[in-house]
Structure 1
Amino acid sequence: MSYQVLARKWRPKQFDELVGQEHVVKALTHALDSGRVHHAYLFTGTRGVGKTTIARIFAKSLNCEKGMSAHPCGECAICKAVDAGRFVDLIEIDAASNTGVDDVREVIENAQYAPAQGRYKVYLVDEVHMLSKSAFNALLKTLEEPPEHVKFLLATTDPQKLPVTVLSRCLKFGLKRLLPEQIAGQMRMILGKESVGFDDGAIDALARGADGSLRDGLSLLDQAIAHGGGTLHVGDVRAMLGTIADNDVGVLLQALAEGNGKALLDEADRIAGLSPDFAVVLEQLATALHRIQLRQLVPGYAGDEAEREVLGALAGKLAPEDVQVWYQFALNGRRDLPLAPDVRSGFEMTLLRMLAFRGGADGEARQAAPAQREGAPTPRTTSIASAPSAQHVGVTHAGGVADAPEKPAKPAAAAPRIQGIADWEMWIRAAGLGGPVGLLAQHAVPKSFEGEVLTLALKPEHVIFSSDAVCRQLQDQLGAAIGRPLRVRIVHEAVAETPATRAAKARSEEQAAAERALAEDPFIQDMQRQFGAQIIPESIRPTGRQA
C-alpha cells in the first residue's frame, strides 16, 4: 500500500479528536443531541484548522446507522464510507473549480431527490466564496428553504467575500488558529504512535513554523522526518525551516544593547553562513522583542524557561522605547527585503538601522563608527545634542503662542541625527505615521532640530494640514519613535521638495517607464501594425502597483 501523508492518516474521525475548536464542537454536539439541526452551516477560518474535517464528522453524525448522534459509531457501513470518501449522500463540491451558475443549477436539480443511503443528503461546498455572483443568486432560494432531507455545509477561508444574503441564511462558526502548544502536543502524540524519535526543540520549531495551521504543521512534520532520515533533530529542522537558534537572536540583541557594531556584523556574518531565510530571522527578532517588552511592561509575565534564560537579562538592559522602535524596524525590514539589492544586505541594513536609532547612542556608538575617521570631511548636518530635561511639550506655530504645557517629563536620551529629507522619510516610516498626521509629515520638510524643537517648513497652501490637534499627535508619535520628548514648530514658507513630491515624482517615473516599455514591446508593436491597436496610457500600471 502506498504511503499516506500524516495529515490524512491522522485526520480526526470524531469530534473528541479535534484540537483547539472546542467552541464549535460544543455547539454542534448540542445541536445533534437535541435534534435542533439547522439546514445550513458556514465554517470559516484559515487553512488547515479543521473546516472540512468538522463538516465530514458532522455529515457522519447525521447519517450514522445507529442513530443521529454527536458520537457516530465509526463501525457501520455509512461511517466507514464517509471516512473513506465514498459515501454517496455526502456530495463534496470544490467551488474554486465549479464556480458557475450551471454547476449550482445541477445542485439545485439534484437536491429534490431523496438520499440513496442515509437520512440526509449533505452538500459540502469548500471555498464557497469562489462562486460567481450569479451562482450565489441561483443558490439563495434553495439555501433558504431546502428540502427536509438536505443539509448544506459551507466552508471558506475568506468570509468577507460572501454576499450578506448568504451569510444571513447560515449558522456561522469561526474556527480559531491553533496555538503552537496545541500543534506541538498533537505532533508529539502522532510521533509517539509512529515510533519516530524527536527533540523537543525540533517539535517547538515546527509548531511555530505551522503558523496556526495543524495541516501545515503535519506537512512540515512529514518533510522533517524525510529530512532527518526518520528522526527529528533540532539542528536539521532549523536548517529546513531557515530559522536560527534563540541564542543567536539573543547574541544579536546583546550586541545592539551594547552598541557594538563590530560584534553585531560578526554575528550577522556567522548567521549568514547557516544559509537561513532572512525574512524568518527578522520575524524571530520581532518575536523576541515582543517578549522582551512583555517582560518589561506586564507585571507577572514569566514566559518559558528557554525564554527566561535568553531574554531575561536583555529586558533589564534595554529601554522600552528602544524595544518599540526596533520592533517596528524588524517588521519594516522584513517587508522591504525584496527591495534590497540582496537579502543579506537588506538584513544587515535593518540591524544597522536599529543600531543607529539606539537611545543614547550619540556618544559611544558614533565614536566607534568606521565613518568617523581623522581627516574625513564632515557633512553639513544638524545634530541632536543631549538635551536638558524637557520642561514641557507643546506645539508652536511660527508667530503663534505655544499650547498649554504638559507635566514635566523625565530627562530624555539623546535622539538620532536628521540630515535632510531622506532621514525625514525614515522618521516617518519608523513612527508609522498615517492619516492626517501622515499627510502633514509628507508635505513638510525639516528645517532644523535644536534641543527639543523640531522645526518643519510647510507651504502656505498646505496650512490646512497643520491644525493644533494634528501637530500634537505628530510630536507624540515622533517622540515615541525616537524615545524622547520633542516639540514641533511649523513655519509656512516655500518648499522645493517634500516626501509627497518625491513620491509623486517616483510614481511618475515608474509610469513613464512602464508606458515606454510597453510601447517598445515587439508584440505590442506587431498588434498595432496588424490590427491598428491603440495603447490607452490610463490603463497601464507599473509592476507591483494595484489599479
Structure 2
Amino acid sequence: QLQLLSQQASAETIQLLYQIALHGKRDLPYAADPKSGFDMTLLRMLSFQPKQVDTRNDITPPISRTQDNTSQTTAIDNPPTATEQKTQYSEPELVKIIEPPQIAEPRLTVPVEISSVNNDPNIKLNASSWLEIIASLKLTAFARQLADNSSFIKFEADKVSLFISPELAHLASEKAQDRLESALGKYLALTIKLVFEQDDQLQSNPTLAGEQVQQAKISQQQAADSIHNDPAVDAIKHAFNARIIESTIKPIA
C-alpha cells in the first residue's frame, strides 16, 4: 500500500511532506492545543509544493579529434605575426601643466602706537586747558583713572602740580604717575615732573571725572524732561492710568 502511494507523488513532494511533519511535531508543544497544532501542520502540507527544477542539462556535443587536429594544424600553419603578438602602446600624450600665477605675499604691517602730541602750539597747560588736554591723552586704565580724578593747580618750570582728593589717593601709584607723566610730557614736548599736593581748599577744582558725572546728570535730566513733556506719553498715561518708572529713562547717546 505504501508503494502504491509512493507512485502517486514525486520524491520531492514526499520529502517536503516529511519535513513539514517533522517541523509540525517539533512545534506542537507551542500550539494553543494539540488540534490547532495538527491543523496547522496539515495546512502547511496543502499550501506548499516542491519547487520544479529542470533537470535537463545542456549537453555540449563532443568535439571530434579531427576538428581538434585541424584547428591545431591551422593555428600552427598561421602563427601570429609580430604585430599581433606584441601589443602596440602609444606614447602618452604630454599634458602641459599651467602653473598658477604667483601671488605676492602681503606685507606685514606692524601697528604703531599713536602717542598724543600737541599739534596746536596755542594750547598751553593751564587750569582752563587741563580737562581738554587730559581727555585727549591715550592712557591705560590706572593712569586714566588718576588723570580723570586729578585737578590742575599750577605749572611752573618743569613741575606740574595736581590735586587728588584724599579718598582717591590710592590711584596715585608710582606706576600710574610715571605713565601719566610720560604721556603729558610727550603732549607738551617737554620733560616734566608731576607733584601731587594735599589741600582741602582745592576740593572745588574741576576734574574730568567730576565734569563727566555732571554732564551725565544733565543728560539724564534732559531725557526725563523730554519724556514727561511728550504729549503722546501724557496721552498714554491718561488712557491706561499708567505711570513712568524714572529709573527706566535713559538718555540717548
Query: What TM-score does the superposition give when structure 1 sets the normalisation length?
Result: 0.25
- Among 112, 116, 124, the alignment partner of 1:417 is 124
Is the aligned partner of 1:355 residue 2:147?
no
Q: Count matched residues.
A: 146
Is the aligned partner of 1:543 residue 2:252?
yes
Check the 8 A contact 1:430/1:481 in 2, yes or no. Answer: no
The CA RMSD over aligned residues, in Å, is: 2.9
- Among 217, 220, 229, the alignment partner of 1:520 is 229
Is the aligned partner of 1:452 residue 2:244?
no
Structure 2: how far apart are the matches of 1:434 and 1:514?
A: 32
Is the aligned partner of 1:489 residue 2:192?
no
Structure 2: how far apart are the matches of 1:355 and 1:479?
A: 15
Quick one: which amino acid aligns to residue 499 of structure 1?
A: L
- Alpha-carbon deviation of 1:529? 0.3
Q: Tell me the residue number matched to 1:465.
A: 171
Greater length-normalized contact order (CA 8 Å, ≥ 6 residues apart): 2
- Alpha-carbon deviation of 1:355? 2.9
Give deviations 1:450-483, integer Å, cap 9, x for gaps. Answer: 0100000111111111112211121011112221
Larger radius of gyration: 2
Q: Tell me the residue number matched to 1:79.
A: none
Structure 2: how far apart are the matches of 1:505 and 1:429?
A: 16
Is the aligned partner of 1:426 residue 2:132?
yes
Give deviations 1:169-221, integer Å, cap 9, x for gaps. Answer: xxxxxxxxx99xxxxxxxxxxxxxxxxxxxxxxxxxxxxxxxxxxxxxxxxxx
Q: Tell me the residue number matched to 1:303.
A: none
Percent identity reads 19
Q: Tell me the residue number matched to 2:41.
A: none
Q: Secondary structure at the match of 1:526?
A: helix
Structure 2: how far apart are the matches of 1:499 and 1:509?
A: 15
- Alpha-carbon deviation of 1:507? 0.5
Structure 2: how far apart are the matches of 1:504 and 1:481?
A: 26
Quick one: which amino acid aligns to residue 163 of structure 2?
A: A
Check the 8 A contact 1:456/1:491 in 2, yes or no. Answer: yes
Q: Secondary structure at the match of 1:355?
A: coil
- Alpha-carbon deviation of 1:489? 0.2
Note the 1:6-85 alignment, pairs <5 A.
Answer: none
Which runs of structure 1 show a deviation greater than 3 angstroms over 4 or more consecutive aligned residues?
none
Quick one: which amino acid aligns to residue 237 of structure 2?
A: Q
Q: Tell me the residue number matched to 2:117.
A: 325
Q: Secondary structure at the match of 2:129?
A: helix
- Among 209, 213, 218, the alignment partner of 1:509 is 218
- Among 243, 246, 252, the alignment partner of 1:534 is 243
Check the 8 A contact 2:131/2:207 in 1, yes or no. Answer: no
- Alpha-carbon deviation of 1:425? 1.4
Structure 2: how far apart are the matches of 1:480 and 1:519?
A: 48
Structure 2: how far apart are the matches of 1:426 and 1:501?
A: 13
Give deviations 1:439-458, integer Å, cap 9, x for gaps. Answer: 11111111110010000011
Quick one: which amino acid aligns to residue 486 of structure 1?
A: I
Instruction: Say if 1:542 and 1:434 are closer, same or farther in 2 by CA, change over 3 A.
Output: farther
Check the 8 A contact 1:443/1:458 in 2, yes or no. Answer: yes
Structure 1: how far apart are the matches of 2:197 and 2:169?
A: 10
Q: Secondary structure at the match of 2:125?
A: coil
Check the 8 A contact 1:431/1:480 in 2, yes or no. Answer: no
Structure 2: how far apart are the matches of 1:543 and 1:455?
A: 37
Instruction: Say if 1:425 and 1:434 are closer, same or farther in 2 by CA, change over 3 A.
Output: farther
Quick one: which amino acid aligns to residue 466 of structure 1?
A: A
Q: Secondary structure at the match of 2:120?
A: helix
Query: What TM-score does the superposition give when structure 2 sets the normalisation length?
Result: 0.51
Structure 1: how far apart are the matches of 2:197 and 2:135?
A: 23
- Alpha-carbon deviation of 1:537? 1.9
- Alpha-carbon deviation of 1:434? 4.0
Check the 8 A contact 1:445/1:458 in 2, yes or no. Answer: yes
| Runs (5+) with no aligned partner, structure 2 | 1-99
Check the 8 A contact 1:460/1:493 in 2, yes or no. Answer: no
Give deviations 1:139-183, integer Å, cap 9, x for gaps. Answer: xxxxxxxxxxxxxxxxxxxxxxxxxxxxxxxxxxxxxxx99xxxx
| Runs (5+) with no aligned partner, structure 1 | 1-15, 23-177, 180-289, 294-319, 327-353, 358-415
- Alpha-carbon deviation of 1:533? 2.1
Q: Secondary structure at the match of 2:252?
A: coil
Q: Secondary structure at the match of 1:449?
A: strand
Check the 8 A contact 1:431/1:478 in 2, yes or no. Answer: yes
Q: Secondary structure at the match of 1:481?
A: helix
Q: Secondary structure at the match of 1:503?
A: helix
Check the 8 A contact 1:463/1:492 in 2, yes or no. Answer: no
Q: Secondary structure at the match of 1:417?
A: coil
Quick one: which amino acid aligns to residue 429 of structure 1?
A: A
Q: Secondary structure at the match of 1:356?
A: coil
Is the aligned partner of 1:478 residue 2:184?
yes
Note the 1:301-320 alignment, pairs <5 A.
Answer: none
Structure 2: how far apart are the matches of 1:447 and 1:439?
A: 18
Structure 2: how far apart are the matches of 1:532 and 1:445?
A: 49
Check the 8 A contact 2:159/2:192 in 1, yes or no. Answer: yes
Structure 1: how far apart are the matches of 2:147 and 2:198?
A: 14
